[in-house]
Amino acid sequence: MVQLHHGWQVSARNTPVPVSRVPAAVPGCVHTDLLAAGLIPDPFLDANETELSWIGRTQWTYETSFQWSGPVDDRIDLVCAGLDTVATISLNGTEVGRTANMHRGYRFDLRSALTPGRNDLRITFDSPYEYTAAMARQVGSRPGAYDEPYNLIRKMACNFGWDWGPTVVTAGIWQPIGLHSWSTARLAQVRPQITVDGTTGVVDVHVDVERASTESLHVTVEVGGVVGVASIGAGSIGATLRLSVPDVARWWPRGYGEQPLYPLRVVLATEGGRELDRWERRVGFRTVRVDTTPDEHGTPYTVVVNDVPVFVKGVNWIPDDAFVTRITRERLAERFRQACDANINYLRVWGGGRYESEDFYELADELGLMVGQDFLFACAAYPEEEPFAAEVAAEAREHVVRLASHPSLVTWTGNNENIWGFADWGWPEQLHGRSWGAGFYHELLPSIVAELDPARPYWPGSPWSGTPDIHPNDPAHGTMHIWDVWNQIDYAHYRDYIPRFCAEFGFQAPPAYATLRRALHDEPLASDSPGMRHHQKAADGDLKLRRGLDAHLPEPRGFDDWHNLTQVNQARAIQLAVEHFRSHQPVCMGAIVWQLNDCWPVTSWAAIDGDGRRKPLWHALRAAYADRLLTIQPRDGGLALVASNDTDRPWQTEATVTSHDLSGKALAAVTVTVDVAPRSVVVTPIPDGVALPEEPRSELLRAVAGEQQAWWFHAEDREIDYPAARYDVTVEPTTGGYDVTVTAGTILRDLSLFPDRLDPAATVDQALVTLLPGESVTFTVHSTARLDAAALAAQPVLRCVNDITA
């Protein structure tokens, strides 16, 4: 394959800024081309997004030329791994193809259009809005969560904007493109199916070839030192081989074992042994199923890998940049490292984004991160008429085959919230009997998975209860999403639910200060300044942030207080939910936080913001998802100490629960022996003498077991009689930055350090530390800048909740 990534130029007619033969990146997209050429301002800054909506309503032409010296092979194809989206491809003025699905790859036979010497290749992208308008006329419009037509085109849904993302309707050659010159035959499709039986790895490889001649062919498959050979006779276009690989080591999710990967090689050759094509991947041996056998609590949804039930400590994943072509493997590796450092073991690839990349899945394979991939349908009714039925079938077949070799991929899910939407969001009244996608989720997609990837579980929706007879979001059955907490009620209500598997729940906060300062030029920056409002996309988002704050925390005095307290509140909400869910293992067997990452600088549910900075929520997740978790939970009218052991070793320890007043004085204590078997939870009631306060506003509990600790406050912070925070700080320069040691003079609640306020590149190792008087903590700050020690030791860099009491 010869890549055609050079010499591209993009042009358009009648645009607000003239765009004629502007250098274009391939792979890439028009927004980033115009940005690189200095023709548009950065859509991620301030409110620039709003003046750039014409880009999505314009027809774009990409052109390049290449030399061709004349035929040497039987065939020469143009291979497009991805075109975004409504494309007409022509060579030397002759149309060679049309496409209208960003999620598919295409191959065009160029023989009739090629000429020796210079060849002019042109790809014209029509406005997606013109296409969706035509589709609305053809098949009728359909209801959705947003007033954009993303359900009438096979294009990444969040490209049209979302409640955390900008509307940047892209066009361009978003995946590699090249010329493939070949003779005799090529590998059209390789579909490995990998299972393991005891210690024997079983690899079934289905090979399909495309032919330019009728010669007999030879296919060789090699894995783990075992070689299989098959011949493909003159009249045949495929072969199936089964290889048994003895003594394989199994692939495990992280936290359960290693991730051994085995190269799998497929070579196509002529009878005489001349190599024609080859395909290589690394595979892993494991089994996976989802246990949904009804029990006394309802219908579980338990991911079982190698016959071991796994508690899913997950996060939802969205495209890491609204311009997906900017996402490098290095950037994914960094994001995955952040996920692993937060003790996450599962990424759910949400259905409004993309079928994730090879880089994504290779990194997940290596790290032992389990992945659940949604098919690409989100928050809308989707037409099942043509051309959609054929497009959906084709894209599903392509990606099921492409991803089947990855051990990290553990489940396919039919859609995001569409079955729920049909049940609860008034769609039937708007549809008047028109199709809405049910046939995709209940028939087409499961049949494709059963045919092409039968060893991998499929679930029709997120959420889905397992049967049409039960509401799709029933906590007792299958998967559920909890959204009334963020949208309507206080986060303590997470405790009203004991979901079998919670696939979405989230709470918002603004991004890091340095991220805001890079993206917004508001002066002064305020929670309601213009840029802040533009970078808040959720319906009534700021009101919901405020409602959440008012229920728990003191009144902010200004932006800096608001920024810290909303971030604290987000972290606490999600930590409460995760600890509650874990305390109900094994009735609950999974939590997937909405959301790990962002695609631009925005106030959102993310733990890591659009510039890659970790919010306090990230630190709270690391604590709540720790292998050994100690937490205090309300149980049966009192309080209980809950110890969760997500390791393969027993956890035996003495735990002491002490009641303190706000000066740190111990009022009562109890010590219990905690003996937690591997992968399980022990709930120990705390005797009322310790658990029940005399004065809720001035007492608290702390439990300590070795390195683990847990806190319980009997009242909300805004009601607690906190002393004004007093502390001593020492700042020590180190080789990589500074050690900042804070010694508490009073109780310090949720103490954090934000060195990004002084140096945007600075990071810190921990956050949200609560100290009693006399205790201390050292924050390790990484920074190559010279930071002002006094600034490191004071607001707004060093913050705690009780630094704003009167």
Q: What is the DSSP letter of 536?
A: B
Number of residues that bind ligand BMA (CB under 6 A): 11
Tokens of 12: 């358009």
Spatial distance between the Cα atoms of 503 and 605, rounded to a whole number of angstroms = 14
Shortest CB 378 distance to ligand BMA, Å:
6
Q: Assess whether the previous peptide bond of 387 is cis (omega < 30° from 0).
A: yes
Shortest CB 44 distance to ligand BMA, Å:
18
Window contacting ligand BMA (CB under 6 A); options: 15-23, 49-57, 156-164, 520-528: 156-164
Shortest CB 31 distance to ligand BMA, Å:
21
Shortest CB 153 distance to ligand BMA, Å:
18
Shortest CB 504 distance to ligand BMA, Å:
6
Task: Check residue 505 for interaction with ligand BMA (CB under 6 A).
Answer: no
Task: Check residue 597 for interaction with ligand BMA (CB under 6 A).
Answer: no
Nearer to ligand BMA (CB atom), residue 164 or residue 722:
164
Q: Kindly tell me which residue out of 60, 62, 164, 458 binds ligand BMA, with binding defined by CB under 6 A.
A: 164
Q: Is 536 exposed, middle or buried (0-12, 13-18, 19+ CB in 10 A)?
A: buried
Spatial distance between the Cα atoms of 629 and 638, rounded to a whole number of angstroms = 20
Nearer to ligand BMA (CB atom), residue 542 or residue 716:
542
Spatial distance between the Cα atoms of 563 and 510, rounded to a whole number of angstroms = 7
Shortest CB 157 distance to ligand BMA, Å:
9
Window contacting ligand BMA (CB under 6 A); options: 157-165, 178-186, 295-303, 621-629: 157-165
Shortest CB 801 distance to ligand BMA, Å:
26
Nearer to ligand BMA (CB atom), residue 409 or residue 606:
606
Shortest CB 165 distance to ligand BMA, Å:
8
Apex CA 372: angle with CA 371 and CA 374, to 5°? Answer: 135
Pairing of β 346-349 and β 312-317:
parallel
Spatial distance between the Cα atoms of 806 and 801, rounded to a whole number of angstroms = 12
Shortest CB 316 distance to ligand BMA, Å:
7
Shortest CB 167 distance to ligand BMA, Å:
14
Query: What 3-state DSSP class applies to 244?
Result: strand
Nearer to ligand BMA (CB atom), residue 408 or residue 415:
415
Tokens of 96: 């060679």
Question: Among 297, 312, 187, which residue's Cα sits nearest to residue 237?
Answer: 187
Nearer to ligand BMA (CB atom), residue 356 or residue 504:
504
Nearer to ligand BMA (CB atom), residue 504 or residue 611:
504
Spatial distance between the Cα atoms of 367 and 258, rounded to a whole number of angstroms = 9
Tokens of 290: 């989802």
Question: Among 62, 57, 67, which residue's Cα sits nearest to residue 27?
Answer: 62
Nearer to ligand BMA (CB atom), residue 413 or residue 564:
413
Task: Check residue 417 for interaction with ligand BMA (CB under 6 A).
Answer: yes
Query: What 3-state DSSP class applies to 541?
Result: helix
Task: Check residue 163 for interaction with ligand BMA (CB under 6 A).
Answer: yes
Q: Kindly tell me which residue out of 175, 345, 416, 418 binds ligand BMA, with binding defined by CB under 6 A.
A: 416
Shortest CB 162 distance to ligand BMA, Å:
5
Task: Check residue 422 for interaction with ligand BMA (CB under 6 A).
Answer: no
Nearer to ligand BMA (CB atom), residue 175 or residue 508:
508
Shortest CB 537 distance to ligand BMA, Å:
9
Window contacting ligand BMA (CB under 6 A); options: 63-71, 73-81, 162-170, 355-363: 162-170
Q: Kindly tell me which residue out of 162, 317, 436, 507 binds ligand BMA, with binding defined by CB under 6 A.
A: 162
According to DSSP, the residues that pair with 169 across neighbouring strands are none
The number of residues making up the chain comes to: 806
Task: Check residue 40 for interaction with ligand BMA (CB under 6 A).
Answer: no
Spatial distance between the Cα atoms of 47 and 45, rounded to a whole number of angstroms = 6
According to DSSP, the residues that pair with 19 across neighbouring strands are 12
Task: Check residue 375 for interaction with ligand BMA (CB under 6 A).
Answer: no
Task: Check residue 150 for interaction with ligand BMA (CB under 6 A).
Answer: no
Nearer to ligand BMA (CB atom), residue 164 or residue 562:
164
Pairing of β 666-676 and β 680-685:
unpaired
Spatial distance between the Cα atoms of 216 and 195, rounded to a whole number of angstroms = 30
Nearer to ligand BMA (CB atom), residue 161 or residue 201:
161
Query: What 3-state DSSP class applies to 317?
Result: strand
Q: Is 304 exposed, middle or buried (0-12, 13-18, 19+ CB in 10 A)?
A: middle
CA dihedral 56, 57, 58, 64 (to 10 degrees): 30
CA 224 to chain centre: 32
Spatial distance between the Cα atoms of 208 and 228, rounded to a whole number of angstroms = 16
Shortest CB 352 distance to ligand BMA, Å:
6
Task: Check residue 382 for interaction with ligand BMA (CB under 6 A).
Answer: no
C-alpha distances in angstroms, 435 versus 45, 156, 429?
A: 40, 21, 12
Shortest CB 154 distance to ligand BMA, Å:
18
The residue assigned the tokens 């989802």 is 290
Q: Mask of contacts with ligand BMA, 618-637, x by CB under 6 A?
A: --------------------
Nearer to ligand BMA (CB atom), residue 416 or residue 527:
416
Window contacting ligand BMA (CB under 6 A); options: 21-29, 159-167, 204-212, 213-221: 159-167
Judge contact between 201 and 89, C-beta under 8 A: no
Tokens of 547: 């409602």
Under rule CB under 6 A, which residues in 446-485 are in contact with ligand BMA?
A: 483
Judge contact between 602 and 325, C-beta under 8 A: no
Spatial distance between the Cα atoms of 82 and 26, rounded to a whole number of angstroms = 11
Q: Which secondary structure element, helix H or strand E, spans residue 710, and what is its range?
A: strand 708-713
Task: Check residue 215 for interaction with ligand BMA (CB under 6 A).
Answer: no
Judge contact between 431 and 143, C-beta under 8 A: yes
Q: Kindly tell me which residue out of 256, 497, 559, 594 binds ligand BMA, with binding defined by CB under 6 A.
A: 594
Question: Among 799, 313, 316, 805, which residue's Cα sits nearest to residue 568?
Answer: 799
Q: Mask of contacts with ligand BMA, 347-366, x by CB under 6 A?
A: -----x--------------
Task: Check residue 508 for interaction with ligand BMA (CB under 6 A).
Answer: no
Q: Kindly tell me which residue out of 504, 611, 646, 756 binds ligand BMA, with binding defined by CB under 6 A.
A: 504
Q: Kindly tell me which residue out of 379, 512, 705, 725 binds ligand BMA, with binding defined by CB under 6 A.
A: 379
Shortest CB 511 distance to ligand BMA, Å:
16
Nearer to ligand BMA (CB atom), residue 372 or residue 554:
372
Apex CA 250: angle with CA 248 and CA 256, to 5°? Answer: 155
Window contacting ligand BMA (CB under 6 A); options: 13-21, 160-168, 527-535, 777-785: 160-168
Q: Which secondary structure element, helix H or strand E, spans residue 423, and what is its range?
A: helix 418-424
Task: Check residue 756 for interaction with ligand BMA (CB under 6 A).
Answer: no
Window contacting ligand BMA (CB under 6 A); options: 17-25, 99-107, 158-166, 557-565: 158-166
Shortest CB 324 distance to ligand BMA, Å:
17
Q: What is the DSSP letter of 469?
A: T
Neighbours of 615 (CB within 10 A): 24
Shortest CB 475 distance to ligand BMA, Å:
17
Shortest CB 536 distance to ligand BMA, Å:
12
Q: Is 659 exposed, middle or buried (0-12, 13-18, 19+ CB in 10 A)?
A: buried
Task: Check residue 146 for interaction with ligand BMA (CB under 6 A).
Answer: no
Residues of the shown chain interacting with ligand BMA in the complex, contacts defined by CB under 6 A: 162-164, 352, 378-379, 416-417, 483, 504, 594
